[in-house]
Structure 1
Amino acid sequence: MDDAAERDDPVIPETAQMGRTALTVADLDETVAFYQDAVGLAVRARSERAATLGAGGSPVLELLADADAPPRGRTQTGLFHNAFRVPSRTALGAALERIRDRGELDGASDHYVSEALYCTDPEGNGVEIYADRPREEWPRADDESVEIGTAPLDLNALVAESDGAAEAPPETDLGHVHLEVSSLGRVRAFYADTLGLGVRTEARGASFLAAGDYHHHVGVNTWNGRTDSPDGRGLAWFEFLLPDAEAVTTARRRLSAADVPVTDREGGFELTGPDGIAVRFRARAARES
């Protein structure tokens, strides 16, 4: 690829996906149990200070224990929710049963592009479990942007489709992350202008951005008027999976050339975005394709 063509391509390719999200927690045992019992994830690795959870062998969640980390303050930016995507309404119905049995359902919505359940983990981190509607059913505006709305979700009809599974299906992944930020303009400039995500839709106090034609990989909002960077429990980092090692190398080179500081991390690199939120990049493994 010549230099001019490379400059026209987004830093995050259209084929990128979400990888893992990481949380700093005070009580590792309690938090692991919640994500096993309510979300249906399985423990892939465990030590005294950390746990890796996933579905079908692919990791989607890292829990990092730090009993001394202070709780997130009311003015601090950070995580609104991590959104775990299941492959079907059957799986979403099973998730509803698990949440009702082992957690507490905070809400449920039909977002036109997806159907979603909401709950909160023991450390106060927001959790969404959702299933996408077929892409051909996603409503679109005249400019082809995706229309994401909020309507009631029929929970009785959903639970009637449940297969009663205790674990999330192996296809379950991290569909998106939704962040609480201090400035929509600054965050859009970073994720859209610097990283190359497309703004898929906007609402009052919120923007939804994605690689390619997905409805969103990153949501951001200012609904709660948060102003301070996070420092303590909560979101530690989240990750984009790029198609291959060459894409990772290219992204790192282009960001460095744009004077964006990057740090090498486990087969990829990390940078710090607006509000001090860390974003990681690595190549997608074969089992994550």
Structure 2
Amino acid sequence: MSYVVPSNTRIGHIHLKVSDLDKALDFYHGLLGFQITQYYGKSAVFVSAGGYHHHIGLNTWHSKNAAPAPVNACGLYHTAIVYPERKDLATILKRLAEAKYPLSGAADHGVSEALYLNDPDGNGVELYWDKPREQWPVDNEGNLTMVTEALDLEGLLKEI
């Protein structure tokens, strides 16, 4: 039998190479609202939600003033940030709209509702909330059947 990762395993943080710390902080701290927990010299900073040591590390160690990574190359597709409630996703959607920050997409996946955008370095970011498990779509055998359908943004905004 092959190894199966324990069910309570989680992904703790992501560390991104960025070209400019100030621009990255304007996005992750200023726009998305993550709190700065620590600067690591002048080339890295750690941000988090709720006082955790860090959910996102940002550094310019190998990327200061660099161009974004090519879209058609191997690498990170997107970072996914999970909000606890649907109203929290609605709140960040309103914040993005007020800042006129462009979305690259929005979807209802059956299991979740998601907003997609890019950070200043072109790194993909997914902002989403998970629907309650009892609402997840399954087939007749009980297998998960995720979808990608249009997300009702106006309906989402009615949460706030």
- 1:28 is displaced (CA, Å) by 0.7
Give the aligned partner of residue 58 of structure 2. Answer: 63
Show the counterpart of 2:45.
51
1:70 to 1:93, Cα distance in 2 relative to 1, 3 A: closer
CA distance in 2, matches of 1:119, 1:74: 14
Query: What secondary structure does 2:77 align onto?
Result: strand
The one-character-per-residue Cα deviations of 1:174-217 (angstroms, maximum 9, x if unpaired) are: xxxxxxxxxxxxxxxxxxxxxxxxxxxxxxxxxxxxxxxxxxxx
Q: Tell me the TM-score normalized by structure 1.
A: 0.50
Paired residues of 1:119 and 1:127 also in contact (CA < 8 A): yes
Segments of structure 2 that go 5 or more residues without pairing to the other structure are: none
Partner of 1:90: 87
State yes or no: 1:122 paired with 2:126: no
The letter for the 2-side match of 1:122 is: P
Q: Which deviates the most, 57-66 or 110-119?
A: 57-66
Choose from 5, 15, 20 the match for 2:13: 20
For 1:137, which of 135, 138, 146 is the aligned residue? 135
For residue 154 of structure 1, what is the amino acid of its counterpart?
D
* Larger helix fraction of residues: 1
Match of 1:159 in 2: 157
Determine the C-alpha separation between the residues in 2 that align with 1:8 and 1:153: 37
- Matched residues, percent identical? 37
- The answer as to whether partners of 2:21 and 2:58 remain within 8 angstroms in 1 is yes
- Per the TM alignment, residue 80 of structure 1 is displaced from its structure 2 partner at its CA by 1.3
SS at match of 2:121: coil
Partners of 2:141 and 2:77 lie apart in 1 by 28
Gap regions ≥5 residues in structure 1: 1-6, 163-289
Q: How many aligned positions are there? A: 155
Q: How far apart are 1:68 and its partner, in Å?
A: 5.5
Would you say 1:101 and 2:94 are equivalent positions? no
Call closer, same or farther: CA 1:74–1:138 in 2, change over 3 Å: closer
Return the structure number with greater relative CO, CA threshold 8 A, min gap 6.
Answer: 1
Aligned residue for 1:51, secondary structure, equals strand
Number of the residue aligned with 2:35: 42
CA shift at 1:29, angstroms? Answer: 0.5
1:159 and 1:62 map into 2 onto residues whose CA distance is 30
Q: Which has the higher strand share?
A: 1
In the other structure, the counterpart of 2:23 is 30
Give the structure-2-normalised TM-score.
0.88
Q: Secondary structure at the match of 2:92?
A: helix
Contact 2:18 2:58 in 1 (8 A): yes
Match of 1:243 in 2: none
RMSD (Å) for aligned C-alpha atoms: 1.8
Change (3 A) 1:9 1:90: same
The one-character-per-residue Cα deviations of 1:56-106 (angstroms, maximum 9, x if unpaired) are 012211101131545313442111111100011110011101211232122
Deviates more, 1:66-75 or 1:148-157: 66-75
Confirm or deny: 8 A CA contact 1:110 1:149 kept in the other structure: yes
The one-letter code of the counterpart of 1:72 is A
1:187-202 maps to which residues of 2 (within 5 A)?
none
